[in-house]
């Protein structure tokens, strides 16, 4: 470690679905200040999820930066570098000046482009095998949706950015996307190498409208004078490429080597598995990682923490004093039930599903309800459904030949001790939880530290992460869950046709919001 590492700090900011977080980190990788700010999500129609680029993404960056500088007392000129991550991939059309033309369309929870997914698969299949994996997590169908449904917006579009890309542009004036995000979510716009935009898909979106590709630890610009005035940062501060929140979170989890699997518990659940070589997959998203010569496969459930929020809001109030339920109440209620939820099974596809089967028209369900079931059984069934979904993904990874040697758990869901134990029991795996649980913003600060030379590599930077806690499985409990998991998989197969037909009727029965 250089002298610079002991004298300077790096700043990491992560823009999430329902909140944003920031961390100021010293040269030893220790968080010296952290902050967070909550925000909302716009849902103009069922299945449509959006956020305002200035009112949420850029606003949160400025608020968090101001708060971190004030809390830490660190002078702006002592910040050596800045890293940004965000929910990804998002689609934000901008004009020639980088001004947003509409709210940003969010990642896989936004399922508006279902029709366009099928069209693009039919159009490019045979010329690009990766299109078979197109889903609501993919960028190309949402670009096609914009062209079809908002042609006046597309006619003015001179660039397409993600959430992290927009913040980096506001900071530096540069339009950039990191190779991880592009290679994972931009097929067929990205070529097979994952490092160049494809000319063969130029009719869908010209490469000139797409950001410059860069590696996740690469310095791509400096804070401009205008951005310095808006944020309180020092003009000229280096900024590394933005990345997806999950890719930054993987670093905060301690991901260092092939076989490490990050499970990120948030509004949705996301997975990243480090691999030792480029790979192909029909059920996940292969990609590069943050540095040249590093690789990964990614996956994600469409909802998990969001499902717990839905249930909390649905149940409403405590029965004893009438006060509103909180997350702790949901956990307490779930503890009153038993493994298997007294024969109640939930399917968590309340926003469709991403991996291990790409089905935006999948729908949630409770199967086995009787008059004897209680609120406690509903609560436990939801937690178990999340665990079954995670096991389904783990089994699919193993079936495709991807070995998992260590499971690293991160995100807000790790604070839910019961959920952690249910997941370990259902999956039969030990989960390691890092001592510093602030998440993706720490990973962003570490990327920035590599970019400006505080650390020689990400491996060195991530070696600062330790794991003081693990959750071990109860094998007897796993045996109890095995039959329920078998029914869980059958539940999707046997209700898919009904779910798809209901999804087709959804707009007819639900007015625009």
Output the domain CATH number for residue 338: 3.30.420.40
Asked if residue 187 and residue 296 are part of one domain, the reply reads: no
- 263 in the same domain as 202: no
pLDDT tops 90 at residue 227: yes
Compute the average pLDDT of residues 46-70: 96
Residues 236 and 272 in one domain: no
Residue 462 in domain: no
Give the pLDDT score at 6: 43
- Confirm whether 461 is domain-assigned: no
Residue pLDDT, tens place only, 117-152 = 999 999 888 777 778 778 888 999 999 999 999 999
Q: What is the pLDDT of residue 3?
A: 35
Q: How high is the pLDDT of residue 471?
A: 96
Task: Answer yes or no: do 194 and 303 share one domain.
Answer: no
Whether 315 maps to a domain, the answer reads yes
The answer to the question of residue 412 being in a domain is yes
Which of 228, 250, 272 terminates a domain? The answer is: 250
Query: 9 Cβ partners below 8 Å, 6+ apart?
Result: 24, 25, 26, 27, 32, 72, 74, 78, 79, 80
Instruction: Quick: pLDDT tens for 154-182.
Output: 999 999 999 999 999 999 999 999 999 99
- pLDDT of 323 reads 87
Same domain, 285 and 304: yes
Answer whether residue 54 shows pLDDT above 70: yes
Domain that holds residue 336: 255-433+474-513
User: How many domains is the chain built from?
Assistant: 2
Q: Assess whether 7 and 109 both reside in one domain.
A: yes
Asked, as a colleague might, if the bond just before 268 is cis with ω within 30 of 0, I would say no
Q: Give me the phi and psi of 105, to 5 degrees please.
A: -85, 125
Query: Does the pLDDT at position 229 exceed 90?
Result: yes
Residues sharing a CB contact under 8 Å with residue 367, sequence separation 6 or more, in sequence order? 344, 345, 346, 347, 487, 491, 495
Do 499 and 349 contact (CB within 8 A), yes or no? yes
Judgement on whether residues 237 and 316 belong to the same structural domain of the protein: no
Domain boundary among 250, 282, 308: 250
CA 512 to chain centroid: 27
Residue 453: what are its φ and ψ, rounded to 5°? 90, 10
Q: Is 454 inside a domain boundary?
A: no
pLDDT reported for residue 437:
77
Q: Rounded to whole angstroms, how far apart are CA atoms 380 and 361? A: 25
Distance CA 78, CA 11 (A): 10
285-327: pLDDT as tens digits:
889 999 999 999 999 998 999 999 999 999 988 877 878 899 9
**63 with 131, same domain?**
yes
Q: Give the separation between CA 187 and CA 203, rounded to whole angstroms.
A: 14
| 464 — pLDDT class (breaks 50, 70, 90) | very high
Q: 156 and 274: one domain?
A: no
Is residue 127 within 8 A of residue 141, CB to CB? The reply is: no
In a shared domain, residues 195 and 279: no
Which pLDDT score is estimated for 510? 59
Q: Which residue has the higher pLDDT, 487 or 466?
A: 487
Instruction: Report if residue 79 sits inside a domain.
Output: yes
Kindly tell me if the per-residue pLDDT of 2 is higher than 50.
no
- pLDDT at position 4, please? 40
**Shared domain check, 413 and 326:** yes
Same domain membership, residue 291 and residue 348: yes
Domain boundary among 224, 250, 276: 250
460 within domain boundaries:
no
Q: Is residue 459 part of a domain?
A: no
Residue 59 has pLDDT above 90, yes or no: yes
């Amino acid at each position: 470690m250089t002298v610079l590492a002991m004298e300077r700090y790096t700043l990491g900011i992560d823009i999430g679905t329902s909140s944003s977080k920031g961390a100021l980190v010293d040269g030893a990788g220790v968080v010296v200040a952290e902050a967070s700010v909550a925000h909302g999500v716009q849902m103009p129609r069922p299945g449509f999820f959006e956020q305002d680029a200035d009112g949420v993404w850029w606003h949160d960056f400025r608020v968090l930066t101001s708060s971190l500088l004030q809390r830490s007392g660190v002078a702006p000129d002592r910040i050596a570098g800045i890293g940004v991550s965000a929910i990804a991939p998002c689609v934000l059309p901008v004009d020639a000046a980088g001004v947003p033309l509409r709210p940003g369309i969010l990642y896989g929870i936004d399922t508006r482009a279902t029709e366009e997914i099928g069209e693009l698969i039919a159009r490019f299949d045979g010329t690009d095998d990766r299109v078979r994996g197109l889903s609501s997590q993919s960028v190309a169908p949402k670009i096609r949706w914009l062209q079809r449904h908002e042609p006046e917006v597309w006619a003015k579009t001179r660039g397409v950015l993600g959430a992290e890309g927009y913040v980096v542009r506001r900071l530096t004036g540069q339009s950039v996307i990191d190779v991880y995000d592009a290679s994972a979510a931009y097929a067929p716009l990205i070529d097979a190498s994952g490092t160049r935009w494809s000319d063969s898909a130029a009719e869908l979106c010209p490469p000139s409208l797409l950001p410059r590709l860069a590696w996740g630890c690469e310095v791509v610009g400096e804070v401009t004078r205008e951005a310095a005035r808006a944020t309180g940062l020092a003009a000229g501060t280096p900024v590394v490429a933005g990345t997806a929140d999950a890719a930054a979170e993987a670093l905060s989890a301690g991901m260092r080597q092939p076989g490490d699997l990050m499970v990120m518990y948030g509004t949705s659940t996301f997975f990243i598995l480090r691999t030792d070589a480029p790979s192909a997959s029909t059920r996940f998203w292969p990609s590069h990682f943050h540095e040249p010569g590093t690789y990964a496969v990614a996956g994600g459930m469409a909802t998990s923490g969001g499902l717990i929020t839905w249930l909390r809001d649905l149940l409403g109030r405590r029965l004893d004093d009438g006060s509103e339920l909180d997350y702790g109440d949901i956990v307490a209620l779930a503890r009153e039930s038993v493994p298997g939820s007294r024969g109640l099974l939930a399917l968590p596809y309340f926003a469709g599903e991403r991996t291990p089967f790409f089905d935006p028209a999948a729908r949630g369900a409770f199967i086995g309800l009787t008059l004897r079931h209680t609120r406690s059984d509903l609560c436990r069934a939801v937690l178990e459904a999340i665990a079954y979904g995670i096991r389904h993904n783990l089994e699919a990874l193993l079936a495709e030949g991807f070995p998992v040697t260590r499971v690293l758990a991160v995100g807000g869901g790790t604070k839910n001790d019961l959920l952690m134990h249910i997941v370990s029991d259902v999956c039969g795996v030990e989960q390691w939880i890092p001592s510093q649980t602030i998440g993706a913003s720490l990973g962003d600060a570490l990327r920035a530290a590599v970019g400006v030379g505080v650390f020689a590599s990400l491996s060195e930077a991530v070696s600062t992460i330790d794991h003081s806690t693990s959750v071990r499985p109860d094998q007897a409990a796993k045996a109890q869950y095995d039959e329920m998991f078998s029914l869980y998989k059958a539940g999707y197969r046997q209700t898919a046709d009904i779910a798809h037909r209901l999804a087709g009727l959804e707009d007819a029965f639900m007015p625009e919001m």
